[in-house]
Amino acid sequence: MDIPIMTDNSIRAFTYELLRKYGMTTVFGNPGSNELPFLKNFPSDFRYILGLHEGAVMGMADGYAMATGRPTMVNLHAAAGTGNAMGALTNAHCSQSPLVVTAGQQARNLIGVEAMLTNVNSTLLPLPLVKWSFEPAEAADVPRALSQAIQEATLPTPGPTYVSIPHNDWDEDVDANMAHLLRREVVVGAEPSRSQIQAWADLLAQAKSPVLVLGREVDAQNANADAVRLANKLGAPVWMAPSESRCPFPTNHPSFRGVLPISIREVCERLEKYDVILVVGAPVFRYHKDMPGNYLPQGARVLSLTGDTHQAARAPFGDALVSNVKRALACLVDALDLTGRTLPEPIEKPTLPADLPGAIHPENLFHLLNRLAPENVTYVKEATAPATKKAFWSQIQMTQPSSYFFPSAGGLGFGLPAAVGVQLALPDRRVVAIIGDGSANYGITALWSAAQCQVPVIFIILKNGTYGALREFASLLGAEDSPGLDVPGLDFCSIARGYGVDSGTADNAEAFGCLFTQALNQSARPFLIEVSTPFGK
């Protein structure tokens, strides 16, 4: 469907044309009066995904942007809508999601008197969670500003941008000069030099025990196969960097060691045996727990390949090469003069525990889930208790790119909405969301969007009755007596029903198997399974 730009000369019509150019025809939003003039005459080739709360809007858009790799349009209501979305924006910022966040501003003539719904100091509001924030100084600049917002969001290092747009701008005529915006292309040509690549290839080839630590950028750039080629050629073990938003490596590959721990001391312990540590597409390193120690084993050398200039600047140790990760990885494999290396032995799987009546241990649950899930499954995970995390990585196999999404800033409220966004982005795959009974509440309204959009996400809510992750931290910090750690009395099946989502409860493996199979057979509607797991696991 084309908007007749010749007959409708408005900034609004032009903006929709601009969004088409970038494939941004899915708009995630929650509207208010400031946004209605943008949404007026909403073109029929666009779809509007309504979220009932801006946290869910942002989470869905984040999932969609990560899974498509494309700039994604978000439309929020002024300051209040932006404020509600800020928690979710922490994850989008951290996972470098190219979100173009727009918010409706009061009419220009009413901003000065701070009329109701004025977004006061609008450009400061989303800082520091967006990489560029702007309010055009006049209506005529709106198209250029949006074009810049799209480019800024996608150019290295990608990340969310923000534009505040007064609502009386949309009906203004577009300046003829803006037509250039529809024709221009911005391409990044940065490639590592041959000598730089060769120097690193030589270091790796001479290393006695090299190791790879991989992160989000590998998966975001679909460089997973290049990472496998590198691991095979080097015969090196592979770790996933801590708290990453995506899984960069097939978890059933013999080299795969799991996810690095989250403290300085433990990371150093895990890397003890290695002399050259090549980190690709991840920060060096993203710690969480405060356990001081040496950053690195004695004599170990860190090489970090990343597209993220800030992370290269911020890293407290190691050499960094800032480049397109996919290109550099491919060049590095080709430059590596090595043959005949053998792969490490795969790590052993833990033995499965016996279930006590009334609950399924996460280890057993994920073992079963892994057996029943289809080949093309994509997981969105937001369950953080130590036993759950461990069980996930020991039992769940992921072999394809874009198989795993996680809120890497730790801002809860991502999982449920992001699962909807990922499923919208990847209709040919099946999304399974693994969500804690605490986390689920922060993004719960996305259940409604899932039902209305008829996406077949399978939501698995792990009901362990508590904020399991906080219990671990409580004992670490000597704060076991903290109030506010348990979440009893939640009935997710009733909540699901209220939002129009079918559901069932399981407290043993057999019941879970039946429900999961039923959910799989339901291909155009979401399904929620509330699973009882042991307290705190």
Catalytic residues: 32-33, 35, 54, 77, 288, 410
Q: Does 532 bind ligand TZD (CB under 6 A)?
A: no
Helices (H), 215-339: 216-220, 224-234, 264-270, 309-314, 325-335
- Does 412 help bind ligand TZD (rule: CB under 6 A)? yes
Interface map 467-486 toward Ca ion (x if CB under 5 A)? -x------------------
The answer to whether 29 touches 48, Cβ cutoff 8 Å, is yes
User: Considering CB distances under 5 to 8 angstroms, the limit depending on partner class, which of ligand TZD, Ca ion, none binds residue 469?
Assistant: ligand TZD
Please list every residue from 27 through 46 that binds Ca ion, using CB under 5 A. Answer: none
Residue of 436, 443, 504, 526 interacting with ligand TZD (CB under 6 A) = 436
User: Interface residues for ligand TZD in 367-396 (CB under 6 A)?
Assistant: 383-385, 388
The binder of ligand TZD chosen from 32, 83, 410, 513 (CB under 6 A)? 410
**Which CB sits closer to ligand TZD, 96 or 533?**
533
Q: Give the binding range for Ca ion (CB under 5 A) out of 84-92, 246-254, 325-333, 457-465.
A: 457-465
> Of the ranges 157-165, 341-349, 436-444, 489-497, which one interacts with ligand TZD (CB under 6 A)?
436-444
CA distances from 184 to 178, 180, 220, 270 (A): 11, 6, 25, 48
Report how many residues bind Ca ion under the rule CB under 5 A.
5
- Residue 87 makes contact with ligand TZD by CB under 6 A: yes
Q: Is 436 in the site for Ca ion (CB under 5 A)?
A: yes
Question: Is residue 308 within 8 Å of residue 283, measured between CB atoms?
Answer: yes
Q: Does 438 bind Ca ion (CB under 5 A)?
A: yes
Q: Which of 467, 499, 512, 527 binds ligand TZD (CB under 6 A)?
A: 467
Token digits for 46? 């666009």
390 within 8 A of 31, measured Cβ to Cβ: no
Angle between helices 362-372 and 386-395 (to 10 degrees): 30
DSSP conformational letter for 486: B
Confirm or reject binding of residue 464 to Ca ion (CB under 5 A): yes
Q: Find which of Ca ion, ligand TZD, none residue 470 binds, CB within 5 to 8 Å per kind.
A: ligand TZD
To the nearest 10 degrees (0 to 180), the angle between helices 325-335 and 194-206 is 60
| Partner in contact with 162, chosen from ligand TZD, Ca ion, none, beta carbon below 5 to 8 Å by kind | none
Please state, in angstroms and rounded to a whole number, the distance separating the CA atoms of residues 305 and 3: 44
Region of 154-162, 268-276, 322-330, 404-412 interacting with ligand TZD (CB under 6 A): 404-412
437 touches Ca ion (CB under 5 A): yes
Q: Which residues contact 138 (CB under 8 A, 6 or more apart)?
A: none
Q: Is 238 in the site for ligand TZD (CB under 6 A)?
A: no
Q: Does 464 bind ligand TZD (CB under 6 A)?
A: yes
Q: Which DSSP letter does residue 355 get?
A: P
Half-sphere exposure of 491 (CA within 13 A, CB side): 4
- Which of 304, 280, 287 minimizes the C-alpha distance to 223? 280
Question: Which pair of structure tokens corresponds to residue 477?
Answer: 């910090």
Q: Where are the alpha helices (DSSP H) in 95-164?
A: 108-111, 142-154
State yes or no: residue 492 binds ligand TZD (CB under 6 A): no
Q: Which helix (H) or strand (E) holds 461?
A: strand 458-463
Tell me how far apart the alpha carbons of residues 362 and 300 are, in angstroms, rounded to a whole number: 36
Residues in contact with Ca ion by the rule CB under 5 A: 436-438, 464, 468
Residues in contact with ligand TZD by the rule CB under 6 A: 87, 383-385, 388, 410-413, 436-439, 442, 464, 466-470
